[in-house]
Amino acid sequence: MRMNSAKGDLDFELYPGLAFRGKWNRKPYKLIRKLGAGVTGYVYLAEGETGSVALKIGTEPMSITAEANVLKQFSKVQGKPLGPCLFDVDDFLSANSVLPFYAMEYIEGENFVDFLRGKGPEWLPVLALQLLSALSALHQQGWVFGDLKPENVIVTRRSAEVRLLDVGGTTRVGRAIKEYTEYYDRGYWEQGTRKAEPTYDLFAAAMMVVDCAYPRQVKKERGNTASQLKKLVYQAPLLKPYREIVYKALMGGYGSAEAMKNDFLASVKQTEERSRVKRKQQRKARKQKGAPIDLILVMSFVLILFVLYLLIQSF
């Protein structure tokens, strides 16, 4: 169940095919289609002067400006970009009102869970490690993502990189979470408060990993929610190598994304080592199984030579 929905109805102002220029920077845009809606407005795929962009348009200048500032902060994080690049911040003068907007990079790809279901379970540790690296960089900058869910985590089509979308819920550490989605909210599962801290994002990240193990979301039942979550984690074959890590994150056991990432990485190495030993044992078993056959072939060859020798001697 989603808690966020668009504030205000912008449908009377916005529609595919609408072309306009920003009030201040005079850059041209043409709306192509709606990509989604959040608490603070709509996101459209648009054609800009240099190609496709994602355009976030709202009715509250303060909210749009705050989100644009978050995207600027994202660009300051060292290493790979955490989210879309920010291109423009301006106002759209419609016939009835002034609508603030910002233009950002349009990223093509699939959401976290859909990508994994399409590519296969071997991608789970790859995506999880990338997501935890992004969260670690974000937390170190003093931010918590907040509304972390598959729809807000995209895996790029070209390079299979994890990027964070919809920064409307991004909140300074220590403040109250601004936006959340029930299924990924630890408050909904009675496992903590809605205070912005790394453990809040890590709970949602663990729920996303759980999502990957089931064809559909499981409904919360009355009673002990911790035992329900444990059952979800421990009965899923896909999660077997990582179940202690996932459950620990759901219970708030990790103080940082880096600590969870290190445990995930260690688990991946252990799994690979077990696979290597198993492959070695299988090769050895095949070799031992093949030895008697080799011996029989050699003995048969010797026997044939001996028979030929007797035949030659008899003539």
185 classed as catalytic: no
The string over 106-128, giving b where at least 16 C-beta atoms fall within 10 Å of a residue's C-beta and e elsewhere, is bbebbbbbebbeeeeeebbbebb
Q: Please answer whether residues 275 and 150 qualify as being in contact, where contact means their C-beta atoms are separated by less than 8 angstroms.
A: no
Residue 192 burial (C-beta neighbours within 10 Å; 0-12, 13-18, 19+): middle
107: its two tokens: 């990223």
Integer Rg of the chain from CA = 28
Question: Which residue shows structure tokens 């996101």?
Answer: 43
Total count of residues recorded for the chain: 315
Q: Which residue of the set 88, 90, 147, 185 is catalytic?
A: 147
Q: Please answer whether residues 234 and 222 qualify as being in contact, where contact means their C-beta atoms are separated by less than 8 angstroms.
A: no
Q: Which residues contact 122 (CB under 8 A, 6 or more apart)?
A: none
Q: Please answer whether residues 184 and 153 qualify as being in contact, where contact means their C-beta atoms are separated by less than 8 angstroms.
A: no
Closest CA to 268 of 116, 125, 124, 120: 125
What is the C-alpha separation between 210 and 223, in angstroms, rounded? 20
Amino acid, res. 257:
A
Residue 274 burial (C-beta neighbours within 10 Å; 0-12, 13-18, 19+): exposed
Q: Please give the positions annotated as active site.
A: 147
